[in-house]
A and B are shown apart, each in its own frame.
Chain A
Amino acid sequence: KAGVTQTPRYLIKTRGQQVTLSCSPISGHRSVSWYQQTPGQGLQFLFEYFSETQRNKGNFPGRFSGRQFSNSRSEMNVSTLELGDSALYLCASSYLDSRDTQYFGPGTRLTVL
C-alpha cells in the first residue's frame, strides 16, 4: 500500500497570507489527523476528521481549519498567517481512530516570513 502523502513538502509565505495543505491517507483509512510540530511546543494535535466530519479539535485558534472529502483526502487551511505558524505540519491516517496505529506522512514545512 502507498503511504500517507502530503503536498506541498515546503512552503514559504508572508505574514497575513493564507495557506492550504493537502493530505492523502493510506487507502482504506478513514481517520485523518493533523499535527503541528515546533521546537518549542513539540507535537501538538490540531484536529481529526472522520467521514468528512471534524471529530476532534485541539487547542488552536479559529485561523486553523480543515476539511475532509468523500475519498478521505484532507486539507488544512491557515488564514492570516503569523510568524509563530512556522512549523512542520504532519498528517496521519488510521483505520478508525487514534486507538489504531496512526501512520504519518513526510510533513509540510511551512515558513512564515
Chain B
Amino acid sequence: AQKVTQAQTEISVVEKEDVTLDCVYETRDTTYYLFWYKQPPSGELVFLIRRNSFDEQNEISGRYSWNFQKSTSSFNFTITASQVVDSAVYFCALSEARVSGAGSYQLTFGKGTKLSVIP
C-alpha cells in the first residue's frame, strides 16, 4: 500500500528564515506522481507542484524549491526567505495505481506539516 510520511507536525520559523518541509513516501510502483498542496486557514487546498517518478530534476519557483530523490524516496519542499503569508498547512501526496484495475488511481495524502512564520 502506498504511504506518505510527513514527520514534522508543526514548524515555527521567524520571517526571512529558510525552512524545509520533509516528505517520505512508500510505493511498489515504478511509475507514480507526487504533489505538494498548501492549505491556508481558509481551508481550500492550493496546488503547488506535480512531479512524476521519471523526472528527478529539482525545481525552483520563486521562493519555493523542491528536491526529489528517488534513492531515498523523498520529495522535500524548501521555502526561502519565508514570509508570514506562507503560514499554512502543507501536504505532500502520492498517486499510484490501485490494485483494483486499469485506470484506477488514488491520491494519498500525508498528515501535513503546519508552518507558522512569525513576524
Contacts and interface: CB of A to CB of B under 8 A. Distances in A.
A106 B44 contact: yes
A103 B100 CA distance: 24
B109 A101 contact: no
A111 B33 CA distance: 33
Contact of A97 (B35, B105, B109, B111): B105
Interface stretch (A11-19, A40-48, A65-73): A40-48
B107 A33 contact: yes
B106 A98 contact: yes
Interface in B87-112: 91, 95, 98, 100, 103-112
How would you classify the secondary structure of chain A's contact residues: helix, strand, loop or mixed? strand
Nearest to B109: A43
A112 B110 CA distance: 26
Interface residues of A, number: 24
How would you classify the secondary structure of chain B's contact residues: helix, strand, loop or mixed? strand
A107 interface: yes
Contacts of A25: none
Nearest to B31: A99
Nearest to B47: A101
Interface in A81-113: 88, 90, 92, 97-99, 101-107, 109
Nearest to A108: B43
A55 interface: yes
A88 B39 CA distance: 12
B105 A99 contact: yes
Contacts of A101: 35, 47, 50
Interface string A38-62: 0000110100101000011010000
B81 interface: no
A106 B41 CA distance: 11
